[in-house]
Amino acid sequence: MKHSGRTSGGLLLACLAANAAAQSRLQVELSPPNPALRANIEAYVGNVADRDEHALQQLRRIAEAQARDAVEALGFYHAVIHADVRGGAEPALRVRVQPGEPVRLREVSVRIDGPAAAMPEFRVPRSPALAPGMPLNHGHYEDAKRLILNQASRFGFFDGHFEQQQLRVDPAAGTADIALHYLSGPRYHFGEVAFKGDSIIDTRLLQRMVPFKAGDPYNADLVAQLNHDLQSSGYFQGVTVEASPQPAEGQRVPVQVDLAARAPRTLGLGGGFSTDVGPRLKANWTRHWVNAQGHSYGAEAELSAPRQNVGLWYDVPLASPLTDKLRYAAGYQYEEIADTDSLSKLLTVGPEWHSKLPGGWQRVISLKWQREEYRLGDDAGLSNLVMPGISYSYLHSDSRVDPNNGYRLQFDAQVAKEGLLSDANLLHADVQLRGLTTLFERHRFLARLQVGGSATNGYKAIPPSLRFFAGGDQTVRGYDYQSLSPENSDGDRIGGRYMVAGTAEYQYSFAPKWRVATFIDQGNAFNSLDLPSLKTGVGVGLRWVSPVGPIRVDVARGLDDGGGFRLHFSMGPEL
């Protein structure tokens, strides 16, 4: 029993000693106080929490030397430093420092010589902290060297070197001199780009994705862009780009690209919900590459209670395969119009030319044959239209999923000529503008405007898909989906020639990923431009930022006839 008692006592003493060691700490006392100097000393000395009093005594002299290195790194070469250990239940290593006056810069010479000096992009370090009279900070000196070397590597000055790199400190005089003179040497150029791996894509198509030509001046940003562009092309699972100056001949850097093909087919399934259409199911199937020319095709479908559609497409990459393509598309859609007995059966077929313009605009030029069988109040029939069309869109945003600032512009126009495989003359146009800004991190302001109109000589021959309706999640909240529209003598909503809808919304971020909102919507669809009657909806809402974008729940009240309290649910990016 005595042996057992001694063992228990030994364990207790060991636990107490371990607990005391765990509670040891470092105390840094500066006179006068200097937060930057304190942080640097703590970083140099490091963590002492796992040491007991005896270990701290052994560390005391080392800590003094480490503290001196820390203060000299910030220019204090005349510091008085003393370290001691306080014992007890919570032992502490105390480091007391009187920094004194810092060493100050006297002469500073930072210069770039050689071809790099003629490049506006090659920046000479001009930090205010490196000006004569400023306190010496070794970190700023090292930052200047690092900036020069990083730029030399980025822009291909692989033979460059420092002719002079000196930091001369005279502690007695309290001065320091800096001399950084870099000779860049010649700039290297890109050599040939060679592709290897298991990709079946033709080399000529791959070369059209390269953002530079052999002989262009080297730029590491273009190497990174090549990697990104190939990865985003949709053809490859893995991309490795090597552009090393070591095997360069004649100052030309060869570029080696190793490609791993992705699986040729993918299938995607998804779902969603909005109060406009209720629950919906989406599916898509894609064949990412068909042949060595990079052709691809696929199918997509969406199912909801009021609307079902399926689409097929075949893409042919053009001269700029990452941004330009020719798409052959076909689709069928069945839709029941907003709580009425109206319906539409729409078939579309035609080519589309997609391209990205130099200013960042996306342009789509199309030629679409549209056949639509419909019933819309008293209007019923079969419409055939062949419509050339053009669309421009531009997105400027700091995030694709949940932006804080940005705007989106979109312009669409279509035209049809009676007698040229069309049943009526028609000019149809739609403009959408959205803007978002955030102030002081928490206050968000969102604005939206949509304007549409059509000109025709036979409005009854225009099918529902080319008429305008308002109301619902995306136009005027407080009113049901597509409930704002001109009506016939029987009270059936038949769509309008024109439409306008606008939104002003304020959001407040009260917690990470959570926001409250208040808004006012106004708009309507109508047949005459003479003082149209606009409907107004106001409300409040809640936003949760999900991985696919904000999920929005709104309670809105329509202030005019046909309005009332409505619950709206929608999701997706706000731009």
pLDDT tens digits, one per residue of 271-300: 888 888 888 899 999 999 999 999 999 999
User: 3 lies in a domain?
Assistant: no
Q: What percent of the chain has pLDDT over 70?
A: 95
Evaluate whether residue 7 is within a structural domain: no
pLDDT at 322: 92
The structure tokens listed for 243 are: 């552009």
pLDDT tens by residue, 357-398? 989 999 999 999 999 999 887 778 899 999 999 999 999 999
Give 139-170 as a 3 state SS string. Answer: HHHHHHHHHHHHHHHHHCCCCCEEEEEEEEEE
The answer to whether residues 224 and 161 touch, using CB atoms and an 8 Å cutoff, is no
Q: Are residues 53 and 157 in the same domain?
A: no
Share of the chain above pLDDT 90, in %: 73
Q: Do residues 406 and 463 both lie within one domain? A: yes
Q: Residue 198 has what pLDDT? A: 85
Beta-carbon contacts of 104 under 8 Å, excluding residues fewer than 6 positions away, are: 75, 133, 134, 135, 136, 174, 175, 176
Q: How many Å apart are CA 21 and CA 17, to the nearest integer?
A: 6
The predicted pLDDT at position 338 comes to: 60
For residue 77, tell me if it sits in a domain. Answer: yes
- What backbone phi and psi angles, to 5 degrees, belong to 488? -90, -175
> Quick one: 495 and 539 in the same domain?
yes
- Average of per-residue pLDDT across 519-542: 92
Q: What is the overall mean pLDDT for the chain? A: 90
| pLDDT single digits (tens) 189-223 | 999 999 999 889 999 999 999 999 999 999 999 99
For the cut 80, the answer to whether the pLDDT of residue 24 exceeds it is no
pLDDT band for position 508 (cuts 50, 70, 90): very high
Within a domain: residue 80? yes
On the question of pLDDT at 518 being above 60, the answer is yes
The CATH number covering residue 382 comes to: 2.40.160.50
Check whether residue 355 and residue 421 sit in a common domain.
yes
Domain residue limits at 515: 265-571
Lowest mean pLDDT among 127-141, 142-156, 270-284: 270-284
Could you tell me if residue 10 is inside a domain? no
**Cis amide bond preceding 32, omega within 30:** yes
455: pLDDT strictly greater than 60: yes
Q: How far is CA 262 from the centre of its chain?
A: 24
Residues 373 and 309 occupy one common structural domain: yes
| Higher per-residue confidence, 106 vs 11 | 106
Q: Is residue 13's pLDDT more than 60?
A: no
Residue 2 pLDDT > 90: no
Q: How many domains does the chain have?
A: 4
Q: Is 39 part of a structural domain of the chain?
A: yes
Mean pLDDT check: name the lowest of 63-77, 252-266, 330-344.
330-344
Task: Specify whether 194 is located in the same domain as 174.
Answer: no
Residue 6 falls inside a structural domain = no
Average pLDDT of span 160-186: 95
Element (H, E) at 453: strand 443-456
Which position has the higher pLDDT, 380 or 70?
Answer: 70
pLDDT band at 132 (very low <50, low <70, confident <90, very high): very high
The predicted structure's pLDDT at residue 432: 97
89-106 tens-digit pLDDT? 788 889 999 999 999 999
**Identity of the residue numbered 458:** G
Please say if the pLDDT value at position 14 is more than 70. no
208 and 176 share one domain: no
At 27, the pLDDT band (50, 70, 90 cuts) reads confident
Give residue 340's pLDDT. 66
pLDDT higher than 70, residue 4: no
Residues 452 and 541 both lie in one domain: yes
- pLDDT number for residue 339: 60
Which residues make beta-bridge pairs with 113? 183
Q: Mean per-residue pLDDT for 326-340?
A: 87
pLDDT given at position 3: 44
For residue 448, CA distances in Å to 29, 82, 393 come to 57, 65, 15
Last residue of a domain, one of 233, 261, 289: 261
Q: Which CATH number goes with the domain that contains 124?
A: 3.10.20.310
pLDDT value for 12 = 42
Of 69, 98, 127, which residue constitutes the final position of a domain? 98
| Shared domain check, 277 and 418 | yes
The pLDDT assigned to 11 comes to 43
Please report the pLDDT score of residue 466 as a whole number: 94
Which of 47 and 444 is assigned the larger pLDDT?
Answer: 444
Same domain, 285 and 237: no
One-letter amino acid at 314 equals Y
Place of tokens 């990174």: 224
Q: Are residues 127 and 229 in the same domain?
A: no
Q: Has residue 532 got a pLDDT over 90? A: no
Instruction: List, as one string, the DSSP characters of 302-354.
Output: EEESSEEEEEEEEEEE-SSTTT-EEEEEEEEEEEE-TTSS-EEEEEEEEEEEE
231 and 111 inside one domain = no
Domain end residue (candidates: 212, 239, 261): 261
pLDDT score at 23: 60
CA 325 to CA 227: how far, in whole Å?
21
- Domain assignment of residue 13, yes or no: no
